Each structure stands twice: as structure tokens, then as C-alpha cells.
């Protein structure tokens, strides 16, 4: 779909990214943006070549689009910048096609017709490697509070895919509980205080119940669990408010925190 106004595009580079690689990325980015199912209000593209020679995938491409108020993102890493740019284009293309199917997902919530058909996207694209920062050198460098609207697990998986995340915090439309969906081999899993297996049978996406149960913790306690478990994230319930929170590892080795608003 094409729209009359040209979006505002911000492009930045870090490390040894040459002019030809930047031009190649800008061309690919402009081309794939034309697939957006709505007007692109703003676009960001970042190319980075990590200086660490030990990294297998030092070339990193990250981009985001504001498509009529909805965020669409892709984040990939590869051995060379050209390879990363090509992988990024394919990833973002899939995310935009995925976004175009969102109205069908919303409509399905209001029908009692059983599970719909789940469209598998591209095979997972390697994300950047985590920086091996010592535990005593880590800190929370990003905090985000959100007011998640009620969603079905299917819709939460849909949004997670559109944002190119590995997990997604949401409020379950049927139970009212803050929950998390995340990727597992062969599909997805849900972590919730009181998961309903019968609800998942009605989902189009292959979602199973995680054996994990969110504990009521403080942020410092959750970080201790994160470090001990060596997992990418820990979902917990705030010890004071009872709302869902996620503390997660960032690729720079520090922590991030996402919390549902009170």
C-alpha cells in the first residue's frame, strides 16, 4: 500500500560502516516501508559494527517504524553488514505482512468459532550476542511502565511477533491477570498466576502452559533470580502492587525493567 506523504526517516551508524553499506541499507529500508498496511509516520534505522573480534555476528541492524500509531520493529545480527541488512529487510518485511493481518486477529476474539489458522513467519533470525558484563557491573539502565490493554494470548503473541521480541507482557482479557507469552522451541508458552489450559486450546498460535509461576518479589530479588538462572528474563509480581513486571537482560549486558502501571 502506498501513501502520499514521505515519512520522517532517521538513520544512524556506529563503528566501521562505510558509505556504500549505509546507502544499501537506506535503499532496502525505503523499499520495504512501501509494504506497510498504513501510513508510516516515522522510521528509524541503526547500523552498527561491533569492534569485539570475538563476536561471531558483529554486524547489527536495528530498525523501527511507526505505522499509523503502531510500532513495528526488527533487530538482527550477522557476520557481515551486507548480510545483516538483507536479513533485516526480510525480517521487517515479514513483520509488516504480519501487522496487516492484525484486524483478522481482533475480529476472531468476538467469535466462538474455535482456533483460527496460525501463520508462521520466517525462521528465527539471530539477534545480537549478549555482552558478557560482570554481575557487579550491571545495573538497570532502562525502565518502562505501560498500561497493557486486555488481550487474548493469541493477540499477545501477535504483538510480540510484530515488535520482534522474545517475550511480551500483557493483561489477559479473560482472567484479568498480568501474564507473559514467550518463545519456546516449536512455538510459545504463557507464564501466568493461574493459567487456563482450555483457553489455550482455542488459540490459533501453538501456546503451551509454562511450568514457571510468577513469584511476588521486589526488583532486587528478581534481578538475583535473573543472574542465578542465566535466563533472558524473569516475570514476577511486584511485591507492593501485585502487578506484573519483567526484568530482562539487555544486549549491552545491563538490565531493563518493564512494569504494568498501577
Here the CATH number for the domain that contains residue 156 is 3.30.505.50
Q: What are the tens digits of pLDDT across the range 106-163?
A: 444 434 444 445 555 555 566 777 888 888 999 999 999 988 789 999 999 999 988 8
92 domain residue, yes or no = yes
Q: Which residues, at least 6 apart from 24, have a Cβ–Cβ distance to it below 8 Å?
A: 82, 85
Q: Is there a single domain that holds both residue 252 and residue 139?
A: yes
Q: How many C-alpha atoms does 183 have within 13 Å on its Cβ side? A: 14
Domain assignment of residue 70, yes or no? yes
What are the residues whose beta carbons fall under 8 Å from the beta carbon of 185, sequence distance 6 or more? none
Residues 71 and 150 in one domain: no
Query: By three-state DSSP, how is residue 122 classified?
Result: coil
Separation CA 183–CA 206 (nearest Å): 10
- Helices 81-100 and 153-162 sit at what angle, rounded to 10 degrees? 150
Task: Count how many domains the chain has.
Answer: 2
**Beta strands 255-260 and 167-172, pairing class:** unpaired
Q: Is 117 exposed, middle or buried (0-12, 13-18, 19+ CB in 10 A)?
A: exposed
Distance CA 140, CA 182 (A): 21
The chain-wide mean pLDDT, for the chain, equals: 87
Q: Identify the three-state secondary structure at position 84.
A: helix
Residues 199, 196: Cα–Cα separation, whole Å: 5
Whether residues 14 and 73 fall in one domain: yes
Residues 144 and 187 in one domain: yes
Counting residues of the chain whose pLDDT is more than 90, the rounded percentage is 66
pLDDT digits (tens, 9 = 90+) for 232-260: 999 999 999 999 999 999 988 899 999 99
Which residues fall within 8 angstroms of residue 204, CB to CB, at 6 or more apart?
108, 115, 116, 117, 118, 154
Residue 97 to residue 61: CA distance in whole angstroms:
20
Rounded CA separation 102/105 (Å): 5
CA distance 155 to 80: 35
Predicted pLDDT at 115: 46
Cell of 201: 486450546
3-state secondary structure of 220: helix
CA distance 80 to 102: 33
Give the mean model confidence (pLDDT) for residues 19-28: 96
Assign residue 32 the CATH number of its domain: 3.30.160.100
Q: Identify the domain containing residue 26 by its residue range.
A: 8-100
**Other Cβ atoms closer than 10 A to 90:** 17
Task: Return the residue matching grid coordinates 517504524.
Answer: 65
In this prediction, residue 5 carries a pLDDT of 64
Query: Last residue of some domain: 100, 126, 146?
Result: 100
The answer to whether 69 and 36 are in contact (CB under 8 A) is no
Q: Is 172 helix (H, G, I), strand (E, B) or coil?
A: strand
Amino acid at each position: 500500500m502506498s501513501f502520499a506523504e514521505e515519512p520522517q526517516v532517521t538513520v544512524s551508524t556506529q563503528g566501521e560502516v562505510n558509505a556504500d553499506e549505509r546507502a544499501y541499507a537506506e535503499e532496502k529500508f525505503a523499499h520495504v516501508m512501501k509494504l506497510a498496511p498504513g501510513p508510516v509516520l516515522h522510521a528509524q534505522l541503526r547500523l552498527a559494527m561491533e569492534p569485539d573480534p570475538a563476536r561471531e555476528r558483529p554486524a547489527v541492524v536495528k530498525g523501527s517504524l511507526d505505522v499509523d500509531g503502531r510500532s513495528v520493529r526488527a533487530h538482527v545480527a550477522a557476520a557481515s553488514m551486507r548480510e545483516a541488512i538483507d536479513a533485516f529487510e526480510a525480517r521487517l518485511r515479514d513483520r509488516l505482512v504480519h501487522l496487516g493481518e492484525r484486524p483478522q486477529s481482533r475480529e476472531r476474539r468476538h467469535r466462538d468459532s474455535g482456533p483460527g489458522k496460525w501463520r508462521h513467519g520466517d525462521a528465527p533470525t539471530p539477534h545480537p550476542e549478549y555482552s558478557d558484563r560482570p554481575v557487579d557491573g550491571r545495573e538497570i539502565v532502562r525502565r518502562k511502565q505501560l498500561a497493557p490493554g486486555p488481550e487474548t494470548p493469541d493477540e499477545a503473541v501477535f504483538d510480540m511477533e510484530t515488535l520482534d521480541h522474545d517475550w511480551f507482557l500483557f493483561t489477559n482479557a479473560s482472567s484479568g491477570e498480568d501474564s507473559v507469552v514467550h518463545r519456546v522451541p516449536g512455538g510459545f508458552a504463557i507464564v501466568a498466576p493461574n493459567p487456563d489450559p482450555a483457553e489455550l486450546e482455542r488459540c490459533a498460535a501453538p501456546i503451551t502452559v509454562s511450568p514457571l509461576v510468577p513469584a511476588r518479589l521486589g526488583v532486587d530479588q528478581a534481578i538475583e533470580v535473573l543472574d542465578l538462572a542465566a535466563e533472558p528474563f524473569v516475570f514476577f509480581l511486584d511485591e507492593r502492587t501485585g502487578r506484573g513486571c519483567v526484568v530482562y537482560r539487555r544486549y549491552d549486558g545491563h538490565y531493563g525493567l518493564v512494569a504494568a502501571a498501577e
